[in-house]
Chain A
Amino acid sequence: MTRNFATWPIILLLTVLSLPLFIMYLFLLVDTFSNTPPGSLLPNEFTLEHWRFLIDPTITGDIWKPTLTTFLFAASMMVIVVSVSATAGYALSRLALPFRRFVLSGIMVMHAFPSVTLIIGVFLVLQFAGLYNSLIGVILVKASLMLPFGIWIMKGFYDAVPWEIEMAGVQDGASRFTVWRRIILPQVKPGLLSLALFAFIDGWSEYMLPRILAPSSDFEVLSMYLNTVSDPNSSTYNFNIFKSVGLFYTLPVLALFVLFQNRLMNIFGGGTKG
């Protein structure tokens, strides 16, 4: 490969710009495994005591139950978002629906709304349906707020599948549903996978909706748990434990990003196959 400009100035610039972030994350990691004497910048001992919350529920309360709840929350949201987007995106891309343009622009507008502005309406609906203060209610709200994004993305992926492939399937004697399931769906698999990841990560990091829509319920997600740990008035307040819990909370997201980063970028490619 020939280079027509030197790369080192760019690398240098990027390094300088990202250094503050990098140092912050480094100290976050270092602090969870060490103690630093007051007034000093550098740690003086290695310890695992800040990670004891994993096995000792007396320090900050049991962490595994919120972890499981968060996992359930994120996973069910992922299932809803993926299944609805996969079908709705296909319908909007391929079927001659009445009011198709209207629905499409409606989805676009909904995507533009910040979820906070809808919160009062959502609250009323949940209250009316008897789902206020329940995990199911929060999952439904969170999933439906993500649907416009998901449907729009999936429509883009379906649009990129050649029309002839679908017609060939119909010509071969398969019903529209069989064609969708056996021929079209495999073509949009990259889109489905990245959408699933996005939905999972989005659900995993959600804080506000459970907080507002289920304030007094008996379930707790990790973000709320983290908030309790960080309360400076609590007797258990310990900055390094807070950091450790925070790191624990971020780990699955980091792992997913590392494992699937190529797939995640795929979603912004407009549905071309990677």
Chain B
Amino acid sequence: MQISIRNFTKTFDATTVIDDMNLTIRDGEMLALLGPSGCGKSTTLFTISGIHRMDKGQLMFGDRDVSGLPSQKRNVGVVFQNYALYPHMNVFENIAFPLTVRKDAKADIDREVRAIAALTHISELLERRPGQLSGGQQQRVALARALVRKPDVLLLDEPLANLDAKLRLEMRSEIRRIQLETGITAVLVTHDQVEAMSMCDRIAIMKKGEIVQIDTPADMYSNPRTSFVAGFLGNPPISFLSGIAMENAFSVAPIKLRVPLVPQEGIADGTQLKLGVRPEHFGPEGDIAVEGRIAFAETQGRENLYDVALADGSVLRSIQPAGRNWALGDTVRWHIDSKSVFVFTDDGQRL
């Protein structure tokens, strides 16, 4: 079901957390709300669920206006960060709870619970208590409980934050598989760009209560609209150089760096600019030479990560395949791939 948020404003006491936000989640897609803590992503999620009320604006589930409805009447499934399973009920009772509240027939409940348990691979755990389950299993139960009454939308609040690294990888693909199999519209709140990029159809990056950019993961990575977006996506992160515009080129005078601003002409000389260079676009190959010294080297097995300090003190990150190793303190003359860099104005807007 398509979910649309229109002109949504939310204030807590005197602080406006979200101001006039518009967002449409397409039917059957999985959308990530990505942003640093305090950016309003969880507020948005809990507004869709009905836990928070909108101060202004409209929330539509399909053609139905649900802005004024309490949580109970919205038909929304939520998976909380700490799973929020009911500790005194076993797994079956946990999953069945939404159905027993609705007073479904006992045979129907049994059938539905077993079907959803099969989908989430927890059929053999139905008699256990939440306390006897591992984190990943609890996560599956929470998913099953959220999905069992076929909600209009599934909301996931940092669902992987409490899992250890290996389980996180497994559950990432599991959640995506279950979402695709049920075809449900889903919203994922996370501060982890890897989760957002790997699990979702589209990402909405939020900052201070506003959606900065909404795009598919690939588009957002290769075409960020602001320096904030560019800095948020990618691991290791992008590095920025400060400079000025000079004769249709980005220029850092002290180190004689000149990167031509190909598509953008007519920027006044002397304008302050920022150049964003992703680690994979700086290395031995490229077209614009930069000299520097290896200030930090980290082995990651398949790849090595280097910080290269330039003569003026700024640092460029680089990621290189293992094999040809540079040592700490080596002086290198590497190149920036000028076609893949991003140029931003001083306040972070992409040129």
- Name A residues whose Cβ lies closer than 8 Å to a Cβ of B: 162, 164-165, 167-175, 178, 182-183, 186-187
Interface of B is mostly: loop
When distances are taken between beta carbons in the complex, the residues of chain B under 8 Å from A170 are 51, 70-72
Contact call A187/B80, Cβ cutoff below 8 A: no
Complex CA–CA separation, A173 to B145 (angstroms)? 12
The answer to the question of B49 belonging to the interface, with a C-beta cut-off of 8 Å to chain A, is yes
Contact call A171/B71, Cβ cutoff below 8 A: yes
Q: Which residue of B lies closest to A168 (CB)?
A: B84
Q: Which residue of B lies closest to A185 (CB)?
A: B88
Which of the candidate stretches B94-102, B175-183, B267-275 sits at the interface with the other chain? B94-102
Contact call B80/A172, Cβ cutoff below 8 A: no
| Between-chain CB contacts (< 8 Å), 10 pairs | A164-B80, A165-B86, A165-B87, A169-B86, A169-B97, A171-B51, A173-B72, A173-B75, A178-B101, A183-B86
Contact call B81/A171, Cβ cutoff below 8 A: no
Q: Which residue of B lies closest to A163 (CB)?
A: B84
- A50 shortest CB reach to chain B, Å: 48
When distances are taken between beta carbons in the complex, the residues of chain B under 8 Å from A186 are 86, 88
Contact call A167/B78, Cβ cutoff below 8 A: yes
Interface size class of B (residues with CB under 8 A): 20 to 34
Contact call B72/A175, Cβ cutoff below 8 A: yes
- With A171-B49, A173-B149 as given contacts, are A162 and B82 in contact (CB-CB < 8 Å)? yes
- B166 shortest CB reach to chain A, Å: 25
Contact call A171/B76, Cβ cutoff below 8 A: yes
Contact call B101/A173, Cβ cutoff below 8 A: yes
Complex CA–CA separation, A170 to B78 (angstroms)? 10
Contact call A187/B87, Cβ cutoff below 8 A: yes
The answer to the question of B77 belonging to the interface, with a C-beta cut-off of 8 Å to chain A, is yes
Q: Which residue of B lies closest to A174 (CB)?
A: B101
Q: Select one of A162, A168, A175, A183 contacting B78, CB under 8 A.
A: A168
- B201 shortest CB reach to chain A, Å: 24
- With A170-B51, A171-B71, A171-B78 as given contacts, are A164 and B149 in contact (CB-CB < 8 Å)? no
Contact call A165/B84, Cβ cutoff below 8 A: yes
Most chain A Cβ neighbours within 10 Å, of B49, B50, B101, B145: B101
Task: Tally the A-B contacts, defined by beta carbons under 8 Å.
Answer: 57
Scan residues 231-284 of chain B and give those whose CB is less than 8 A from a CB of chain A: none
When distances are taken between beta carbons in the complex, the residues of chain A under 8 Å from B50 are 171
Q: Which residue of A lies closest to B155 (CB)?
A: A171
Complex CA–CA separation, A183 to B71 (angstroms)? 17
- With A170-B51, A173-B102, A174-B101 as given contacts, are A162 and B72 in contact (CB-CB < 8 Å)? no
Return the 10 tightest CB-CB contacts between A and B, nearest first: A164-B84, A172-B98, A168-B84, A186-B88, A164-B80, A174-B101, A171-B78, A170-B71, A173-B101, A165-B84
Most chain B Cβ neighbours within 10 Å, of A162, A167, A168, A175: A168
Contact call B84/A167, Cβ cutoff below 8 A: yes
Q: Which residue of A lies closest to B72 (CB)?
A: A173
Scan residues 278-308 of chain B and give those whose CB is less than 8 A from a CB of chain A: none
Complex CA–CA separation, A162 to B78 (angstroms)? 15
Contact call A168/B71, Cβ cutoff below 8 A: no
Contact call A164/B81, Cβ cutoff below 8 A: yes
When distances are taken between beta carbons in the complex, the residues of chain A under 8 Å from B102 are 173
Q: Which residue of A lies closest to B74 (CB)?
A: A171
When distances are taken between beta carbons in the complex, the residues of chain B under 8 Å from A175 are 72
Contact call A164/B82, Cβ cutoff below 8 A: yes
Complex CA–CA separation, A186 to B130 (angstroms)? 15
When distances are taken between beta carbons in the complex, the residues of chain B under 8 Å from A178 are 101
Q: Known contacts A164-B84, A169-B97, A171-B146; can you find 12 more A-B pairs with CB under 8 A?
A: A165-B86, A167-B51, A167-B84, A168-B145, A170-B71, A170-B72, A171-B50, A171-B76, A174-B72, A186-B86, A186-B88, A187-B87
Scan residues 82-113 of chain B and give those whose CB is less than 8 A from a CB of chain A: 82, 84-88, 97-98, 101-102
Complex CA–CA separation, A173 to B77 (angstroms)? 10
Complex CA–CA separation, A170 to B71 (angstroms)? 6
Contact call A168/B80, Cβ cutoff below 8 A: yes
- B287 shortest CB reach to chain A, Å: 53
When distances are taken between beta carbons in the complex, the residues of chain B under 8 Å from A183 are 86
When distances are taken between beta carbons in the complex, the residues of chain A under 8 Å from B87 are 165, 187
Chain B 122-151, CB-CB to A under 8 Å as 1, else 0, gives 000000000000000000000001100100
Complex CA–CA separation, A33 to B81 (angstroms)? 63
